[in-house]
Amino acid sequence: MALFDSFSPAQYAGPDSTDPLAFHHYNPDDVIDGKTLRDHLRFAVAYWHSFAWEGGDPFGGRTFERPWFPQDSMAQARIKADEAFDLFQAVQAPFFCWHDADLRPEQGNHADNLATLDEITDYIGEHMQRTGVRCLWGTANLFSDRRFMSGAASNPDPAVYAVSAATVKMCMDATHKLGGQNYVLWGGREGYETLLNTDLKRELDHMGRFLNQVVEYKYKIGFSGSILVEPKPQEPTKHQYDFDVATCVGFLRKYGLEDEIKLNIEQGHAILAGHSFEHEIALAAAEGMLGSIDMNRNDYQSGWDTDQFPNNVPEVALAYYHILKAGGFTTGGTNFDAKLRRQSLDAEDLVAAHIGAMDVCARGLKAAIAMHADGGLESALQARYAEWESDSARALLAGSLDDISARVLAEDIRPAPRSGRQEQLENYVNRFV
Ligand code: XUL
Ligand code: CO
């Protein structure tokens, strides 16, 4: 029995509606600032959390019952795809994202992995044609299978490097075939459990070369989407090499990739790194490397990557504010890298989770657009740094420490401390959220 085909596409019913399966804030066709909300937000459903994850946790296995479980045959993979596209339509998702291992079962050898991925992406391509749902990004699962336990590109065993490279080529080809707008690399097990057995420099060099091979291949096949790296500080490994945005920026520069690769920033990963989501987005934007976002929410107490659906409008508003400041999404979008709680068993829970998350994002985006248009934060910022526009201030940056020291003495420069106005700015934000 199909799970999602009885849900007709969710409709916008306005903020006063009490219909739990209607949109209250996300009206996809609403035009704000010259763009529909659909095009501002570019929502994507994550195939892995919604269809491959079975509801297990470290203490217990599957809690969900789905017609495509167990996920051990191509017949089951086709049922999963049918259901996935029913869900995409039920929540009006314009995009989806996937790993190879989400779409069909891992076969245990590369030749069979290639053939079965080709087969299932043909099938998925037909669903895309029929429904108009598009691929935001594809990626390779280089972390679930046992062979990746010590990493993929950073593995001490060259045979694993080889299989990883072949798998990424396969997934780039599949993303290209499905018209994907980005290709993502999340370094699942690129990191270490203990430095006692890790040649850190060699592993970083191998990862740098691997990413260069990815970029070379992108040009070879004429893939016009963006290549994105997704920062995360730990989990599954004790230390992940793509720790946070700052670490990734330094890494990409070191290996000459700063103009070729951008970042896919995830809310929960930002929290794990001890940052806020808007910090990571603002820093990526400042470096010209903002690509896309994985929208979710972490539990602030547990210290795990809990991948919950977002429900905090002020946090989301600040994230979108920085995205808007950077010019909005181009190839990127809002991928819900989020999963149900394991007690949320029903098909309706998954539909409601996406609808609610889209509403939260729409509220956040509308607040961000209003703040951006009002310009209050920007003018406060301009005012705070205004003195740097003067010739005498600019001369400080051009001069030497000797020049500056002489000036401080000659002009008897004595700074007059000024308020940072943080509470007033927080009050300002609260008027919009
Ligand atoms: C894991 C994570 C991944 C990536 C894709 O924490 O976020 O799902 O987004 O591999
Ligand atoms: Co993610």
CATH number at residue 367: 3.20.20.150
Q: Is the confidence at residue 238, as pLDDT, over 80?
A: yes
Residue 15 within any structural domain of the chain: no
Name residues with Cβ closer than 5 Å to ligand 2, which is an ion.
Answer: 266, 294, 337
Residues 272 and 419 in one domain: no
Which one is catalytic: 25, 99, 127, 279?
99
Number of other CB atoms surrounding residue 369 within 10 Å: 21
Query: Which residue has the CA at smallest separation from atom 8 of ligand 1?
Result: 337
Residue 351 within any structural domain of the chain: yes
Q: Note the pLDDT of residue 394.
A: 96
Residues 105 and 86 in one domain: yes
Average pLDDT over residues 225-239: 97
DSSP-based three-state secondary structure for 207: helix
Average pLDDT over residues 277-286: 98
Name the band, by pLDDT with cuts 50, 70 and 90, for residue 259: very high
Tell which atom from ligand 1 comes closest to the C-alpha of 46: 8
Q: Which of 255, 264, 268, 269 is nearest to 284 (CA)?
A: 264
Beta bridge partners of 297: 308
Q: Is the confidence at residue 369, as pLDDT, over 80?
A: yes
CA of 61 to the centre of ligand 2 (A): 22
Residues 338 and 422 in one domain: no
Percentage of residues of the chain with pLDDT beyond 70: 100
Average pLDDT over residues 216-221: 98
Tell which atom from ligand 1 comes closest to the C-alpha of 264: 9
Residues 256 and 145 in one domain: yes
* Pocket residue to mutate for ligand 1, from 145, 175, 266, most atoms within 8 A of Cβ: 266
Q: Note the pLDDT of residue 303.
A: 85
Residue 213 within any structural domain of the chain: yes
359 lines ligand 1 (CB under 6 A): no
Mean pLDDT, all residues of the chain? 98
Contact 175, 138 (CB under 8 A): yes
Name the band, by pLDDT with cuts 50, 70 and 90, for residue 359: very high
The contacts found for 48-53 with CB under 8 angstroms, 24 or more apart, are 48/98, 48/99, 48/102, 49/307, 49/336, 49/337, 49/338, 49/339, 49/340, 50/84, 50/87, 50/339, 50/350, 51/80, 51/83, 51/84, 51/102, 52/80, 52/99, 52/101, 52/102, 53/339
Looking at the CA of 143, which ligand is closest?
1
CA of 270 to the centre of ligand 2 (A): 11
CA of 186 to the centre of ligand 1 (A): 6
337 lines ligand 1 (CB under 6 A): yes
Tell which atom from ligand 1 comes closest to the C-alpha of 232: 6
For 170, counting Cβ atoms within 10 Å of its Cβ (0-12 exposed, 13-18 middle, 19+ buried), the class is middle
Per-residue pLDDT of 48-79, as tens digits, reads 999 999 999 999 999 999 999 999 999 999 99
Number of other CB atoms surrounding residue 329 within 10 Å: 22
Name the band, by pLDDT with cuts 50, 70 and 90, for residue 36: very high
Residues 411 and 327 in one domain: no
Domain that holds residue 391: 385-432
CA of 231 to the centre of ligand 1 (A): 9
Name the band, by pLDDT with cuts 50, 70 and 90, for residue 126: very high
Contact 339, 53 (CB under 8 A): yes
Name the band, by pLDDT with cuts 50, 70 and 90, for residue 302: confident
Q: Which helix (H) or strand (E) holds 214?
A: helix 200-221
Residues 366 and 406 in one domain: no
Q: Is the confidence at residue 258, as pLDDT, over 80?
A: yes
Average pLDDT over residues 390-404: 97
Residue 55 within any structural domain of the chain: yes
DSSP-based three-state secondary structure for 180: coil
Instruction: Tell me if residue 99 is catalytic.
Output: yes
Residues 6+ apart with CB under 8 A from 384: 420
Residues 90 and 113 in one domain: yes
Instruction: Tell me if residue 102 is catalytic.
Output: yes
Residue 99 within any structural domain of the chain: yes
Q: Is the confidence at residue 1, as pLDDT, over 80?
A: no
